[in-house]
């Protein structure tokens, strides 16, 4: 009996430890076609070698970091991004490369602010601020560009 309890405790410790460092990382090409939905409950990292072409819908529930290319097909009216940081008090939107979204939704309640933007975001379509405040941290590179749609 003691042996089974120890195995269970060891398995739970491994599971809990594994989940605390989980993230979704893109090192190559990721194409989300129109009509397709992709979501990640973990932190998302698009590395400097990463290339995301989003013509569908992408949902981010953890932090978002873009070091590579994140865009949608030029002259299309697709590419929906949703930020709903359910895993943390403040959802971080960061990186060293700008992100281009056609439509974007921010939907997260929080204290003083729900989203911490320290990177450039450009959008050509609709920006929906359903719930939560986006703090554009200009001192750390946060900027929001509204393109003619």
For residue 89, how many other CB atoms are within 10 A of its CB? 10
DSSP state letter for 96: S
Q: pLDDT tens track of the chain, all 149 residues?
A: 444 433 444 444 444 444 455 889 999 999 999 999 999 999 999 999 999 999 999 999 999 999 999 999 988 899 999 999 887 899 999 999 999 999 999 999 878 899 999 999 999 999 999 999 999 999 999 999 999 87
Asked if residue 28 lies in contact with residue 51, where contact means CB atoms within 8 angstroms, the answer is yes
Output the pLDDT for position 17: 44
Q: Please give the model's pTM, rounded to 2 decimal places.
A: 0.84
Strands (E), the chain: 23-26, 29-32, 37-40, 43-46, 51-54, 57-60, 64-66, 69-71, 80-83, 91-95, 99-101, 103-107, 115-117, 120-123, 127-131, 134-136, 143-146
């Amino acid at each position: 009996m003691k042996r089974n309890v120890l195995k269970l405790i060891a398995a739970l410790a491994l599971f809990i430890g594994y989940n605390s460092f989980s993230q979704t990382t893109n090192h190559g090409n990721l194409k989300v076609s129109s009509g397709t939905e992709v979501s990640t409950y973990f932190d998302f990292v698009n590395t400097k070698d990463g290339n995301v072409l989003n013509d569908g819908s992408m949902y981010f529930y953890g932090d978002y970091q873009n070091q590579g290319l994140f865009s949608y097909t030029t002259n299309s009216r697709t590419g929906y991004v949703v930020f709903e940081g359910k895993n943390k008090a403040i959802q971080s939107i960061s990186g060293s490369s700008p992100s281009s979204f056609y439509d974007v939704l921010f939907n997260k309640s929080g204290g003083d602010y729900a989203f911490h933007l320290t990177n450039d975001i450009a959008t050509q379509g609709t920006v929906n601020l359903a719930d939560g405040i986006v703090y554009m941290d200009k001192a750390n590179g946060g900027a929001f560009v509204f393109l003619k749609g």
